[in-house]
Structure 1
Amino acid sequence: MKRFKSELRKNGITPMTVWNYKEVGHSQSATQDLQKLMGGKKYFDYPKPVPLIQRCIQLYTDDDSIVMDFFAGSATTAHAVMQQNAEDGGKRQYILVQIPEKTDPKKDAFQDGYKTICDIGEERIRRAGKKIKEEIDADIDYGFRCFKVDSSNMKDVYYAPADVEQLSLDGFEDNIKEDRTPEDLLIQVMLDLGILLSSDIETQNIAGKKVFSVADGYLLACFDKNVTEETVTEIAKKKPFYAVFRDSSMANDSVAANFEQIFETYSSETVRKVL
């Protein structure tokens, strides 16, 4: 076969595979399908046809493959992965990457609240997953998580002593940036500890505080304020592999002082981390 292809190229002929548009669609049909899915609004020009990407998935993936698309656009790849999983019972996952390209302020997408292409893709995934589940009655999980590249959650505190005024020291009482959410901190911790971002995340109420449980209790993290010894003790009793708290969250100095002793008493093998 290689020799045959080589001879073809010598004669100016490039071998190729031709798929009939009736089987894998075309730009016009893809545009119409996406427009119908999005309530009749044309939010995106010339998306890829779902059947085309689905054919590629059939040829080049296993049932548990991870499909990556670094030019996500309207998220056709995610749509195709969910469709294929619904049809053959696969457990494929997808990772999509897209720069937050802004939509045209004069177009429907912008006026309907989709400020970037990413916004369109996210909504397309939600609608496509719901539609597939209703039409095929398949037991598929069409949930997803959306991340963006950002700076650290931690404040910049790299100053020479002479550059720090006495009054500014109050700003260092909490070393985490003011606009960061508990979810932001959790993702940072998961990345630092090498825990998959696709892991199951649940929220629990432990002694009146919100606690994130990751991977069925493998990691327990609490970033609430005024964390008491009762909360620390109840978390320690669950014996997580990792336990993470926010340094400024301890209710008082007594809790901070007894933190290590509580874990030594109830779960000495737990790896403790304080942000």
Structure 2
Amino acid sequence: MYYPFFVHEKTGEVSLKQDDYYNQIALPIKSNGDEGRWRWGIDNAEKRLSELYGKKVGDKFNIYEKDYLEGDDGARRIRPKSVLSGAAYSTDVSTKEYRAIMGKVDFSNPKSITLLSDLIIYATSPDENAIVMDFFSGSATTAHATIRSNIEENGNRRYIMVQIPEKITPSEDAYSAGYRTICDIAEERIRKSGQLEMKNSCKTNVDYGFRCFRVDSSNMKDVYYKPSDVKQAELDLFTDNIKEDRTPEDLLIQVMLDLGVLLSSKVEEEEIAGKKVFSVADGYLMACFDRDVTDDVVTAIARKHPFYAVFRDSSFSSDSVAANFEQIFDTYSPKTVRKVL
């Protein structure tokens, strides 16, 4: 960590090699004359020379790291303050901010939106597709702070909030207002925060939307018996291998997880021959879970050339449609990966 930099006296440009241009030497000498060390090793310094500049102080040159507030390409990362303080960080202000959004639906010790937004801006660049994750999200202040930091910097950060669905007691005002778990409060807080920030900023290029998921069991029915233990009359139970209470949206999320499609992907619904068809990520994945799917529906989907096409095993209107399924795709979209639940 002890090595020389070479500086151009007028421009402050820095190099690790000495020549006629870089002719001033800078060493990590302490103010008392003792030998010190640089914060970066020489390999790191060589990669980041453009972030350094040299400046003469007294009779020697010092090396400094450049600190940008803003550059030609917009907002840049800034160095955080050594001490974070101020009224905006206080618990009193945080509580008032929360109540302005959620009214009488109280929440103990909500965190400061300003504090979390500042930390997010310090830690991430606006254009790096950062994901801000909070494993104990509570009322989802971190989600609100992520939205606000995106507004301030025209950023594209996303967030994941994780919270155990702690139950709200009947004696609390939140229970009377219809909330049953902390997650219910957080979901509504994110929705109202997005509406508030959109109204205050008038920015429409920021993504204010979110999706809410919960951990659940498989969508598929459990089979506990050997084939020899199942009576003929019971076989009708398994003509559809999907649980009765599952929605098409439930099945779509399972498929997205199975295929590695991001849960944040854009999901659109369209109607084809009277059936609801999901188009995910601009047609990368197309899925139909309605019943009585005909050749026309399968053909229309195949003609769109999705990478993945997914149907429900019991969806096809007849055995002939099920038999023609592969042939239709071989004809119109042979590269499509087909999957049947």
Instruction: Give me the CA root mean square deviation.
Output: 1.7
CA distance in 2, matches of 1:209, 1:180: 17
1:164 aligns with 2:230: yes
- Larger mean CA deviation between 28-37 and 175-184 belongs to 28-37
Q: 129, 147, 154: which one pairs with 2:213?
A: 147
CA drift at 1:27: 1.8
Please name the residue that 2:285 is paired with: 219
CA distance in 1, matches of 2:329, 2:105: 57
CA drift at 1:162: 3.3
Q: 136, 140, 149: which one pairs with 1:71?
A: 136
Please name the residue that 1:45 is paired with: 108
Does 1 or 2 have the higher relative contact order (CA < 8 Å, sep 6+)? 1
- Give yes or no for contact 2:293–2:315 (8 Å, CA) kept in 1: yes
- Give yes or no for contact 2:105–2:177 (8 Å, CA) kept in 1: no
CA drift at 1:239: 0.9
Q: Secondary structure at the match of 1:248?
A: coil
Deviation per CA, 1:221-268: give whole Å up to 9, x if none. Answer: 000010001111111111111100000011011101111111111111
CA distance in 1, matches of 2:105, 2:238: 49
1:25 aligns with 2:89: yes
Greater per-residue helix proportion: 1
Q: Which runs of 5+ in 2 are unaligned?
A: 1-35, 38-80
Q: Counterparts in 2 of 1:70-89, with a 5 A limit? A: 70-89=135-154
Q: Counterparts in 2 of 1:1-275, with a 5 A limit? A: 17-22=82-87, 24-38=88-102, 40-63=103-126, 64-139=129-204, 140-275=206-341
Which structure is larger by alpha-carbon Rg, 1 or 2?
Answer: 2
CA drift at 1:17: 4.6
Q: Secondary structure at the match of 2:314?
A: helix
- Report the TM-score, using the length of structure 2 for normalisation: 0.74
Deviation per CA, 1:110-156: give whole Å up to 9, x if none. Answer: 11111110110111111111111111111222100011011110001
CA distance in 1, matches of 2:227, 2:85: 70
CA distance in 1, matches of 2:106, 2:289: 39
Q: Which runs of 5+ in 1 are unaligned?
A: 4-15
CA distance in 1, matches of 2:247, 2:105: 34
The alignment of Structure 1 onto Structure 2 pairs a total of residues equal to 261
Q: Secondary structure at the match of 1:221?
A: strand
Greater per-residue strand proportion: 2
CA distance in 2, matches of 1:108, 1:253: 56
Q: Secondary structure at the match of 1:249?
A: coil
CA distance in 1, matches of 2:227, 2:284: 40
CA distance in 2, matches of 1:93, 1:113: 28
Moved runs in structure 1, 4+ residues, more than 3 A?
none
- Report the TM-score, using the length of structure 1 for normalisation: 0.91
Please name the residue that 1:10 is paired with: none
CA distance in 2, matches of 1:247, 1:58: 48
Q: Secondary structure at the match of 1:247?
A: coil
- Give yes or no for contact 1:43–1:120 (8 Å, CA) kept in 2: no
Aligned partner of 1:117: which letter? Answer: I
Aligned partner of 2:330: which letter? Answer: E
CA distance in 2, matches of 1:42, 1:274: 45
- Give yes or no for contact 1:153–1:176 (8 Å, CA) kept in 2: yes
